[in-house]
Amino acid sequence: MSGHSEFQPTSAPAKWLERRLPILSLLHGAAVAFPTPKNLNYWWTFGGILMFCLGVQILTGIILAMHFTPHVDMAFSSVEHIMRDVNYGWLIRYIHSNGASMFFIAVYIHMFRGLYYGSYKEPRELIWILGVVIYLLMMAAAFFGYVIVWGQMSFWGATVITNLFGAIPVVGDGLLSLLWGGFSVDNPTLNRFFSLHYLVPFLIAGLVILHIWALHVPGNNNPLGIDVKGPQDTVTFHPYYTVKDTFAVVMFMLFFAFFVFYMPNALGDPDNYIEANRLSTPAHIVPEWYLLPYYAILRSIPDKLFGVGAMGLAIVTLFLIPWLDTSRVRSARFRPLYKQFFWLFVIDAVVLGYIGAKPPEGMYLIIGRLATAYYFFHFYIILPVLGLVETPKPLPESISKSVLDKSAAGKPA
């Protein structure tokens, strides 16, 4: 791990511990002395915000699990028991349910940040890949959590999503019975989803450690996308970035609180306040907002197997980005063409999300198909070609020089 600190424990217990397990110097090197580019902007605070989100979900989740009953006859009413009879249960449950959305808002900003500033490029490919794995696990955890509260959309969402696995040739049927623990979504499904919902966040926590470990080898990328040249380009992580990240986390908490206290159900589907009923299918089965773009891709293909395949490819594509992008220049600031295509892609992702919430018919279907095609076009055609044809702007000499120029330009001559 880079950023070896000359950490010397002073107190006797610290010295005792350090000789046996050098964990204090490890933490000091990683979170105090760690040299960090001095020009990181607010988009870089979302890593810390995501750690906060994971912590909040685990903490509230552990408390909720103390009061929740994972059984088809009692799951829904045990959630209402939490909302009504558990002290501050309404608060804990609203933080947890909105927390899932907050987690995804933060992770999408974090990922788009990486795409804009080329943070996935050599030598940071593995950081990106670990991040995509975390993102996949987040989707799994969120899906399991949404199912176990056993509302109408839980049940029917689970039925639709698990059936997708049935489309896989050869192993599909076996996989389906394994997911269900029977012949349909039922009590065994609820039980195993609850178990997995408790497991996955700890897998995420483990991967977050690897993600940060891998980050601390080359150090942070930065808005200029150029390498750190020396100590004049960096500041120590503490106190410079601990204070900035904490400020950003508190701003994020304000945004979070706005939903928890004033519109706690705005991001959810009202149908999930109706208890699951296998005899009554909701008019529109839609996943939670953060999965809608993939749902749109799935439904834009008229064949089930190919639809599932396209959705799978849309996710697999994320792993390949470090090699699909052929440009050596990281930051979009110096890539005039890529910058425009980046924003086009953001719009495409939003359009896919919007289409995912609409019934697949008429104009929605046509727009959905175009947006799906553009999703793949962006990654498999635009990204590789752009690196070959684009003339990047000249890169600045160093981070410190660029920072000095900027502050000089800001003052009247």
Partner 1 sequence: MTNKLQIILGGVFLAAAAIALPLDAAHASEGGELKHVNWSFNGPFGTFDRAQLKRGFQVYREVCSACHSVKFMSYRNLSEAGGPEYTDAETKTIAATNKVMDGPDRDGEMFERPAEPKDRIVKPFPNDNAARAANNGALPPDLSLMTKARHDGPNYVYSILTGYADAPEGVVMADGMNYNHYFPGQQIAMPPPLSDDQVTYEDGAPATLDQMAQDVSAFLTWTAEPKLEDRHKLGLKVVLFLIVFAGLLFASYKRIWKDQH
**Applying CB under 8 A, which residues contact partner 1?**
38, 42, 77, 80, 83-84, 90-91, 94, 235, 239-240, 243-244, 246-247, 250-255, 257-267, 270-271, 273-274, 283, 357, 403, 407
Long-range (24+ apart) CB contacts under 8 A made by 264-272 are 264/94, 264/97, 264/98, 267/98, 267/101, 268/97, 269/153, 271/151, 271/152, 271/153, 272/146, 272/149, 272/151, 272/152, 272/153, 272/154
Could you tell me the CA-to-CA distances from 210 to 113, 122, 128, 207 in Å, in that order?
20, 17, 11, 5
Q: Which is nearer to partner 1, 78 or 162 (CB)?
A: 78
Q: Which is nearer to partner 1, 296 or 311 (CB)?
A: 296
Q: Which is nearer to partner 1, 275 or 325 (CB)?
A: 275
CB of 388 to partner 1, least distance (A): 37
Q: Which is nearer to partner 1, 183 or 262 (CB)?
A: 262
CB of 38 to partner 1, least distance (A): 6
Q: Which is nearer to partner 1, 95 or 318 (CB)?
A: 95
Ramachandran category for residue 274: left, alpha or beta (phi over 0 → left; psi -120 to 50 → alpha): beta
Q: Are 377 and 344 in contact (CB under 8 A)?
A: no
Q: Which is nearer to partner 1, 86 or 313 (CB)?
A: 86
3-class state of residue 277 by DSSP: coil
Q: Which helix (H) or strand (E) holds 35?
A: strand 35-37
Q: Which is nearer to partner 1, 12 or 254 (CB)?
A: 254
Q: Which is nearer to partner 1, 153 or 200 (CB)?
A: 153
Q: Are 134 and 211 in contact (CB under 8 A)?
A: yes
CB of 116 to partner 1, least distance (A): 18
CB of 408 to partner 1, least distance (A): 11
Q: Which is nearer to partner 1, 213 or 289 (CB)?
A: 289
Closest-CA residue to 217 (of 41, 32, 8, 29): 29
The tokens 């903490």 sit on which residue?
Answer: 59
Q: Which is nearer to partner 1, 162 or 234 (CB)?
A: 234
CB of 105 to partner 1, least distance (A): 8
CB of 282 to partner 1, least distance (A): 11
CB atoms within 10 A of CB 255: 12
Closest-CA residue to 208 (of 57, 50, 35): 50
**What is the Rg, in whole angstroms, of the alpha carbon atoms belonging to the chain?**
24
Question: Residue 265 carries which side chain, given as an amino acid letter?
Answer: N
The tokens 């040739």 sit on which residue?
Answer: 169
Query: Counting beta carbons within 10 angstroms of the beta carbon of residue 193, is it exposed (0 to 12), middle (13 to 18) or buried (19 or more)?
Result: buried
* Total residues belonging to the chain: 413
CB of 303 to partner 1, least distance (A): 29
CB of 265 to partner 1, least distance (A): 6
Question: Residue 371 carries which side chain, given as an amino acid letter?
Answer: A
Q: Are 327 and 386 in contact (CB under 8 A)?
A: yes
CB of 276 to partner 1, least distance (A): 13
CB of 354 to partner 1, least distance (A): 9
Q: Which is nearer to partner 1, 188 or 264 (CB)?
A: 264
CB of 410 to partner 1, least distance (A): 9
Provide CB contacts within 8 A for 36, sequence distance 6+.
219, 220, 234, 235, 236, 237, 240, 241
